[in-house]
Amino acid sequence: MLIIKGADVTEDEWTRLPEGQAPTDDSAEQPLLVGLADWLLHRDVLLARAGRLGVLLCGEDEVERLIPDLDHLQLIAVSFPVFTDGRGYSQARLLRDRFNYAGELRAVGEVLPDQADLMSKVGIDSFSISDSVDSRRFFGLAG
Amino acid sequence: MYQYNPVDQQLIDQRVTEFRDQTRRFLGGELTDEQFRPLRLMNGLYLQRHAPMLRVAIPYGLLSSAQLHKLAQISRDYDRGYGHFTTRQNIQFNWPELERVPDLLGELAEVQMHAIQTSGNCIRNVTSDPLAGVAADEIEDPRPWCEIIRQWATLHPEFAYLPRKFKIAVTGASHDRAATQLHDIGLEVVQGESGQSGFRVRVGGGLGRTPVVAEPLREFLDQRDLLSYCEAILRVYNRYGRRDNKYKSRIKILVRTMGIEAFRERVEREWAQIRDGELRLSEARISEMKSHFAAPEYQFFSGEALLEVERRLMADVDFGRWQRQNVLAHRQPGYSIVVVSLKKTGVAPGDLTADQMDAVAELAARYSFGQLRTTHDQNLVLADVPQTGLYALWQALSALGLATPNIGTLTDLICCPGLDFCSLANARSIPLAADIAERFDSLDFLYDLGEIQLKLSGCMNGCGHHTVGHIGILGVDKKGEEWYQITLGGRADNQAALGQRIGPSLPLDRVVDAVDDILQVYLQAREEQERLIDTVARIGVEPFKERVYAHH
């Protein structure tokens, strides 16, 4: 997977905490991406870590539950399990426009060039795309 | 009529370029069927039984002569010389080649037309009253509101991938001619307590497999809040509508599952967050939009000129018959509304040839300020015809085969393309429609029957709106054979209701007889001027059922 943000292409540096697994602090510096349920469960332990923190949202997740924590998050990943599942567009828009989330907002899942503009318009500013996807359309998109 | 500004034009030009690229990538194997499908659907393109079908948007059914000329040319150059007007006021081409669709879209863009969001799980073409702006019972012209909704909904980034398709209809008159209660959102202009107009909002109506009449969501919505309230509904639907089963994904299922109270509460809560935001419509925006739909410059006609029309009516029986049946009262003295019948016996309802399109476009230019409307019962309307021109217009329409004096009668029926074209259908609908038109071709008999809406669908998806036909006919598949289910008592107006099945389905060769049976029961049972729909309401479906199934 490649991460495109603005003009930059990078490898994904975030580690996904496996679902249902308690966080340990042996890799405290490692940026950690956590599902919403685990975030809510282990919030205090996670906040005590030194590394950066992110939350991965699924379609059925209520973004409102993240409101108190937005300042602590460097990344929110919105998932598109298939590109026709459009719940992530509403989640992204709410996070950006209503709850004023200012950190990185990333599209993950089936992220394809034809939706790049739409995603950018609802505030998504980084894109996780597979190596086979034509990346040109994703460059220079601001959230 | 609304004219595109440079931003609108750029938007659709870009879409053409984008779709050209997508089609190229699909044909070159870069996009899978699965990936191309939602993209082509978003641009109105279906891959059908015989060939692709392209559905072109006609926003709220309003067309200019120049646009109709373009549609004529497109049906000649890209199709087989005809087009099909649909029950959602759009036009479909049944035979374009996929490779040429981007060029076709490019031609449409030249006349401010497109196929964006005519399909797919997004907000579809907004539909409205074909008599908007000219009907005597109008509270307010719905078209400026339709256009405001169209602009908001077009390429709305948040609502491009909804759980399922989403249809909005607006009526501004006291008589609902836009079937608003059978839409995902139905908007009805109403007068508020202090005299200002606003909207009654209904939600969750729709036909298809689970037909539902919409429920009232809000009794009065301030006009300025139109978009924020729609946005709130759509956001709730986008977040919570089911996505696991496409037959349970329409908003009507969400409303039913949550209950209207809980749904309303969610919407109101969401709305409270956004109603004072950027979607609030300013007075300036509203009046600017209204200016696009100002009445044309009507002329004054002398009593003498109008007397001449009266003389013609007396002298020519055929003209008189057409005038009584296909011409409606206009609110401007000296003008009439003319319904162009696309229901000639032997022609598929809603079909128009390229030559007819060109001719109608010219007639619209000559007699109706260069504009016309499509109707949800698959006819065309010339809305502003000076009465002094009626006779000549009638002669011209007659020569074109577009003056069948059957508007509002049994043979002014609507029907989907059916098994002949559509890959979803179980049964043919066009040939059955033709059989019905042929059997009941006596005008005196049709006039005696009075207003009857017969609606026919070739499968339960219900594109022919059978569920809300006074007489509804639904094609079903029974062990590979075409059978038909008959319903009675459906209606799509202010008293919207779903038809009731009269009994088991019938084989094709018995359907026309069954319709005849129904008509005979009605003729015997009706009281005075009672319409079929009223007789059914009074006596129920039982007597009809008895007659239809008596001899078998």
**Between B32 and B368, the higher pLDDT residue:** B368
Instruction: For chain B, report the end-to-end CA distance as a whole number of angstroms.
Output: 56
Interface of B with A (CB under 8 A): 18, 22, 30, 35, 38-39, 121, 157-162, 235, 238-239, 243, 273
Task: Identify the pLDDT of residue B78.
Answer: 96
Q: Could you report the per-residue pLDDT of B245-273, keeping only the tens digit for each? A: 999 999 999 999 999 999 999 999 999 99
Q: Which residue of A has its CA nearest to B273?
A: A98
Task: Identify the pLDDT of residue B468.
Answer: 97
Q: Could you report the per-residue pLDDT of B392-430, keeping only the tens digit for each? A: 999 999 999 999 999 999 999 999 888 887 878 888 898
* B192 φψ region: left (φ > 0), alpha (ψ -120 to 50), beta (else): beta
Kindly state the average pLDDT of the residues A15-30: 81
Chain B CB contacts of A87 under 8 Å are: 238-239, 243
Chain A CB contacts of B243 under 8 Å are: 59, 85, 87
Residue A93 is nearest to which of B18, B35, B158, comparing CB atoms? B158
Positive or negative: CA dihedral B81, B87, B91, B95: negative
DSSP string computed for A49-102: SSS-EEEEEPTT--GGGGGGGGGG-SEEEEEESSTT-THHHHHHHIIIIIS---
Q: Could you report the per-residue pLDDT of B268-278, keeping only the tens digit for each? A: 999 999 999 99
Q: Which residue of B has its CA nearest to A97?
A: B274
| Residue B50 pLDDT greater than 70, yes or no | no
Task: Identify the pLDDT of residue B374.
Answer: 97
Task: Identify the pLDDT of residue B20.
Answer: 96
Task: Identify the pLDDT of residue B235.
Answer: 98
| Residue B512 pLDDT greater than 80, yes or no | yes
Task: Identify the pLDDT of residue B49.
Answer: 65
| Residue A11 pLDDT greater than 90, yes or no | yes
Report the amino acid identity of residue A69.
D
Chain A CB contacts of B18 under 8 Å are: 114
Q: Could you count the other beta carbons within 10 Å of the beta carbon of residue A2?
A: 15
Nearest to B120 by CA among B5, B37, B64: B37
Q: Are B46 and B84 in contact (CB under 8 A)?
A: no
Task: Identify the pLDDT of residue B343.
Answer: 94
List domains and CATH numbers for chain B: 1-116+296-404 (3.90.480.10), 135-291 (3.30.413.10), 414-550 (3.30.413.10)
Chain B CB contacts of A122 under 8 Å are: 157-158
Task: Identify the pLDDT of residue B89.
Answer: 93
Q: Could you confirm whether domain A30-138 is CATH 3.20.20.70?
A: yes
Task: Identify the pLDDT of residue A25.
Answer: 66
Q: Structural domain boundaries of chain A?
A: 30-138
Chain A CB contacts of B158 under 8 Å are: 86, 89-90, 93, 122
pLDDT band at A26 (very low <50, low <70, confident <90, very high): low
**Helical axes B260-274 vs B251-258, angle rounded to 10°:** 110
| Residue B389 pLDDT greater than 90, yes or no | yes
Task: Identify the pLDDT of residue B552.
Answer: 61
Task: Identify the pLDDT of residue B132.
Answer: 98
Kindly state the average pLDDT of the residues B139-166: 97
Kindly state the average pLDDT of the residues B364-393: 97
Task: Identify the pLDDT of residue B245.
Answer: 94
- Residue B159 to residue A89, Cβ atoms within 8 A: yes
| Residue B538 pLDDT greater than 90, yes or no | yes
Sheet architecture: strand order including B91-93: B45-47, B52-56, B91-93, B82-85, B351-353
pTM listed for this prediction: 0.95
Kindly state the average pLDDT of the residues A92-107: 97
3-class DSSP assignment, residue B135: coil
The distance of A97 to chain B (nearest Cα, Å) reads 10
The distance of B201 to chain A (nearest Cα, Å) reads 23
| Residue B527 pLDDT greater than 70, yes or no | yes
Residue B273 is nearest to which of A85, A98, A114, comparing CB atoms? A98
Task: Identify the pLDDT of residue B344.
Answer: 92
Task: Identify the pLDDT of residue A49.
Answer: 87
**Between A136 and A77, the higher pLDDT residue:** A77
Percentage of residues of chain B with pLDDT beyond 90: 86
Between A72-81, B29-38, B78-87, B122-131, the lowest mean confidence (pLDDT) is in B29-38
| Torsion of Cα atoms, B168 then B172 then B174 then B178, to 10° | -30
Residue A85 is nearest to which of B30, B35, B243, comparing CB atoms? B243
Residue A87 is nearest to which of B18, B121, B239, comparing CB atoms? B239
| Residue B226 pLDDT greater than 70, yes or no | yes
Residue A114 is nearest to which of B22, B121, B235, comparing CB atoms? B22
Kindly state the average pLDDT of the residues B311-330: 94
Interface of A with B (CB under 8 A): 59, 83-87, 89-91, 93, 98, 112, 114-115, 117-119, 121-122, 134
B541 CB-contact burial (10 Å; exposed 0-12 / middle 13-18 / buried 19+): buried
Run of H or E residues at B152: helix B143-153
| Residue B241 pLDDT greater than 70, yes or no | yes
Task: Identify the pLDDT of residue B34.
Answer: 87
Q: Secondary structure of B412-435 in the HEC alphabet?
A: CCEECCHHHCCCCCCCCCHHHHHH
pLDDT band at B313 (very low <50, low <70, confident <90, very high): confident
Q: How far apart are CA B227 and CA B126, in angstroms?
A: 13
Mean pLDDT of chain B: 95
